[in-house]
Chain A
Amino acid sequence: DIQMTQSPSSLSASVGDRVTITCRASQSIRNYLNWYQQIAGKAPKVLIYAASSLKSGVPSRFSGSGSGTDFTLTISSLQPEDFATYYCQQGYSGPRTFGQGTKVEI
């Protein structure tokens, strides 16, 4: 199975900061990579699909890049509502797998 590894596992940031989260796959997944945001106590919601496509309705401060094994989620200017946990997920082959999550804290 394909393993997904995120870094860092947590980070502290301030409103207005640029934040970058990375996700690495154990083998090439081309660009079959999604990013989700989970607010505490809520279900996750998708932000980015196909590595770099912004889901309709998601603010443009979120962006994704990468292909193959290395991917990045960037928040260009962190807003108060962005403090959450972020997960990558591969949909390339076999069982779906999530990264372990990155918690963005104040």
Chain B
Amino acid sequence: QVQLQESGPGLVKPSETLSLTCTVSGGSISPYYWNWIRQSPGKGLEWIGYVHYSGSTIYNPSLESRVTISLDTSKNQFSLRLSSVTAADTAVYYCARDYDPSGKYYYYMDVWGKGTTVTVSS
């Protein structure tokens, strides 16, 4: 059974770079898409972006200038970097796998990590 686990600093200073890693256990990175999603306190879900096992990426346009998502297939991990953070980036960050059960591009996020809380504060 595939499991995801987010890891990284829980506190980041304003203007610095937030870095998180999601470790995939019980399964392979290929042939899936791997997402990052966040949820600010008391707010809804915000999709940050995804990386395909091939290495291609798509990002939320509202964050694109500050976001990098990358893969490390040798470690079965993928990572999120968000630069120039502010208090508005304080959130629970989730990683999740995209799954297409039919082969017809009906992707949904079927496996999620438990989430990690990141606070931006000096």
Binding site for B on A (CB under 8 A): 1, 31-32, 34, 36, 38, 42-46, 49-50, 53, 55, 85, 87, 89, 91, 94-101
**Nearest 6 CB-CB pairings of A with B:** A43-B112, A49-B108, A50-B106, A96-B47, A101-B44, A34-B108
Determine the chain A residues whose CB is within 8 A of the CB of B96 once the complex forms.
43
Tell me which of B46, B108, B113, B114 has the highest count of chain A C-beta atoms within 10 A of its own C-beta: B108
Give B104 Cβ to nearest chain A Cβ, in Å. 8
Determine the chain B residues whose CB is within 8 A of the CB of A1 once the complex forms.
61
Contact flag A43-B94 (CB < 8 Å), given A87-B45, A96-B47, A101-B44: yes
Tell me which of B109, B112, B113, B114 has the highest count of chain A C-beta atoms within 10 A of its own C-beta: B109
Determine the chain A residues whose CB is within 8 A of the CB of B46 once the complex forms.
98
- How far is A98 from B109 in the complex, measured between Cα atoms in Å? 12
Give B23 Cβ to nearest chain A Cβ, in Å. 15
Determine the chain B residues whose CB is within 8 A of the CB of A31 once the complex forms.
106
Interface size on B, residues (CB 8 A): 25
Determine the chain A residues whose CB is within 8 A of the CB of B45 once the complex forms.
36, 38, 44, 87, 89, 98, 101
Contact B106 A32 (CB under 8 A): yes
Q: Of B60, B109, B114, B115, which contacts A46 at CB under 8 A?
A: B109
Give A62 Cβ to nearest chain B Cβ, in Å. 14
Contact B44 A91 (CB under 8 A): no
User: How would residues 82 to 122 of chain B score, 1 for a CB under 8 Å from any chain A CB and 0 otherwise?
Assistant: 00000000000010100001100111111011110000000
Contact B58 A94 (CB under 8 A): yes
Does B59 sit within 8 A of A, measured CB to CB?
yes
Tell me which of B45, B58, B105, B114 has the highest count of chain A C-beta atoms within 10 A of its own C-beta: B45
